[in-house]
Amino acid sequence: MSDLEPKSRPVVRLRPKAEARAIRHGFPWVYADELVADRRTQALAPGVIATLEDAERRPMATVTVNPKSKIIARVLERDADAVIDRAWIAARIERALALRERLFEAPFYRLVHAEADGLPGVIIDRFGDVAVVQPNAAWAEAMIDDLCAALMEVTGVTTVVKNGSGRARGLEGLPEETVVMAGEITAPVPVPMNGAIYMADVMGGQKTGLFYDQRPNHAFAARLAGGARVLDVFSHVGGFALACLAGGAESALSVDASAAALELATKGAEAMGQGDRFATRKGDAFATLEALQAEGAQFDVVICDPPAFAPAKPALEAGLRAYERIARLAAPLVAPGGYIVLCSCSHAADLVQFRNASARGLGRGGRRAQLLHTGFAGPDHPMLPQLAESAYLKSLFFRLD
């Protein structure tokens, strides 16, 4: 009997006090302290497919198990008899693709957004004929060949990169590695978005090489940027800056600690024909904000889009202080009547906490603010309603007096 068949799979069971109702209502995770962690369960290979039972031994779902992770089980199907194979993966990708093709004219988007698209721990970003897969759960690492084959079959992409880096893989006990699974990559990939052109380094850049989640927030910032002097801090490959140039900004200055990212941003500006209105400044963001203030610099639009200062609860208080400090340092750089955009991609900091920290920072920076707009990730980053962690991005747009 194949180990893909339900009757041949191992069985894991919830503890009596575990919240089985949440699983039945769509919550996709089982934490280590909710599962009977006997010797047999602890001996399971990371990523194995199993049947989940409730405390009364009633089958509940088909799950993947990783005894090395605090999220010891992830729900793949609420059907306990589901077969998890290449065809199953392909069906999930087909469903995800149908949504993106309805939303976007060109094949540049997040194709799979993990649990929200029914592929737990799996991120797939598409760059035309190139796709980058992040298998951030052990089951996806174990089935990476099937995952890549299904991806190519469904979408027709010819090049697939496995990006095995990042904090999530460490939490799963997985090694870091970046590998070309199919095709070849010889140069950064040009990505058209919001009228701008970005250069995505899919082999050596941050995450998959580009952040698609900010697409609608880039567009909103561009609406504010006509004729404006723009400062984009934590710019990466030019995220907000290039969108603002496409929106008619007078000039844009990108600040980042990575020389490689700034070089890609410059290439993007040149590809847009905007190289003469674009400049970069390499350095620590906090130190650069202080230096710009000392120089008396002023901008009409200032954007700060830092990495996650509070990726998990233990970092929450320090992270909120960092967001407050960013707002305090950036506020004096905004010309009267100008705009400031403050962003957070921290899972642990909810919208209210982030908004309060930002408002405190603006006040400490001597500015009175109007909150104009609150932005979130684009629709190619859908949220699973039962999983608050899937709605991580917050972008606050203020006008300063």
Do residues 283 and 308 share a domain? yes
Which residue among 154, 182, 210 closes a domain? 182
Q: Which of 220, 240, 185, 264 is nearest to 397 (CA)?
A: 220
Better pLDDT: 224 or 209 = 224
Q: How many domains does the chain have?
A: 3
Are the C-beta atoms of 224 and 243 separated by less than 8 Å?
no
Tokens of 258: 């990575």
Q: Does residue 1 belong to any structural domain of this protein?
A: no
Do residues 175 and 241 share a domain? no
What is the predicted pLDDT for the residue at 2? 42
Amino acid type, 94 = E
Where residue 168 falls among pLDDT bands split at 50, 70, 90?
confident
Report CA-CA distances (Å) from 190 to 203, 214, 241. Answer: 14, 17, 16
* pLDDT, tens digit, 9 for 90 and up, residues 194-215: 999 999 999 987 778 899 999 9
Tokens of 380: 């190619």
CATH number, domain of 312, equals 3.40.50.150
Q: Is the pLDDT of residue 57 over 80?
A: yes
Tokens of 254: 């990108």
Q: What is the average pLDDT across 74-91?
A: 97
3-state secondary structure the chain: CCCCCHHHCCEEEECCCCCHHHHHCCCCEEEHHHECCCHHHHCCCCCEEEEEECCCCCEEEEEEECCCCCEEEEEEECCCCCCCCHHHHHHHHHHHHHHHHHHCCCCEEEEEEHHHHCCCCEEEEEECCEEEEEECCHHHHHCHHHHHHHHHHHHCCCEEEEEECCHHHHHCCCCCEEEEEECCCCCCEEEEECCEEEEECCCCCCCCCCCHHHHHHHHHHHHHCCCCEEEEECCCCCHHHHHHHHCCCCEEEEEECCHHHHHHHHHHHHHCCCHHHEEEEECCHHHHHHHHHHCCCCEEEEEECCCCCCCCHHHHHHHHHHHHHHHHHHHHHEEEEEEEEEEECCCCCCHHHHHHHHHHHHHHCCCCEEEEEEECCCCCCCCCCCCHHHCCCEEEEEEEC
What is the predicted pLDDT for the residue at 92? 98
Do residues 206 and 314 share a domain? yes
Where residue 162 falls among pLDDT bands split at 50, 70, 90?
very high
What is the predicted pLDDT for the residue at 18? 82
What is the predicted pLDDT for the residue at 136? 95
Q: Does residue 217 belong to any structural domain of this protein?
A: yes
Do residues 305 and 333 share a domain? yes
Q: Does residue 189 belong to any structural domain of this protein?
A: no
Q: Does residue 389 belong to any structural domain of this protein?
A: yes
Q: Is the pLDDT of residue 235 over 60?
A: yes
CATH number, domain of 148, equals 3.30.750.80
Do residues 233 and 347 share a domain? yes
Do residues 199 and 224 share a domain? yes
Do residues 248 and 375 share a domain? yes
Better pLDDT: 332 or 37 = 332
Amino acid type, 268 = G
Do residues 147 and 293 share a domain? no
Q: Does residue 188 belong to any structural domain of this protein?
A: no
What is the predicted pLDDT for the residue at 37? 85
Domain carrying residue 133? 86-182
* pLDDT, tens digit, 9 for 90 and up, residues 240-278: 999 999 999 999 999 999 999 999 999 999 999 999 999
Where residue 391 falls among pLDDT bands split at 50, 70, 90?
confident
Q: Does residue 336 belong to any structural domain of this protein?
A: yes
Q: Does residue 67 belong to any structural domain of this protein?
A: yes
Where residue 4 falls among pLDDT bands split at 50, 70, 90?
low
Q: Is the pLDDT of residue 140 over 50?
A: yes
Edge-first strand listing for the sheet containing 59-65:
11-13, 48-53, 59-65, 71-77, 29-31
Q: Does residue 340 belong to any structural domain of this protein?
A: yes
Do residues 375 and 243 share a domain? yes
Which residue among 58, 77, 96 closes a domain? 77
Contacts of 208 (CB under 8 A, 6+ apart): 123, 125, 132, 134, 163, 200, 202
Which residue among 77, 104, 137 closes a domain? 77
**How many beta carbons lie within 10 A of that of residue 224, not counting itself?**
21
What is the predicted pLDDT for the residue at 1? 33
Q: What is the average pLDDT across 323-346?
A: 98
Q: Is the pLDDT of residue 3 over 70?
A: no
* pLDDT, tens digit, 9 for 90 and up, residues 20-43: 888 999 999 999 999 998 999 999
Q: Which of 374, 364, 368 is nearest to 396 (CA)?
A: 374
Q: Is the pLDDT of residue 361 over 90?
A: yes
For 188, list phi and psi in degrees, rounded to 5.
-60, 150
Do residues 169 and 248 share a domain? no
Do residues 53 and 174 share a domain? no
Asked whether the CA dihedral 269, 188, 345, 287 is positive or negative, the reply is negative
Percent of the chain scored above 90 by pLDDT?
A: 90
β-bridge mates for residue 308, sequence order: none
Report CA-CA distances (Å) from 76 to 55, 56, 85, 367. Answer: 19, 21, 11, 49
Do residues 21 and 111 share a domain? no
Tokens of 368: 């009175």
CATH number, domain of 33, equals 2.30.130.10
Distance, CA of 168 to CA of 327 (rounded, Å): 28
What is the predicted pLDDT for the residue at 83? 96
Q: Which of 148, 244, 343, 345 is catalytic?
A: 345
For the question of residue 244 being annotated catalytic, the response is no
pTM above 0.85, yes or no: yes
The lowest-confidence range among 125-139, 158-172, 177-191 is 158-172
β-bridge mates for residue 50, sequence order: 63
Q: Is the pLDDT of residue 118 over 80?
A: yes
Mean pLDDT (the chain, rounded): 95
Distance, CA of 314 to CA of 348 (rounded, Å): 9
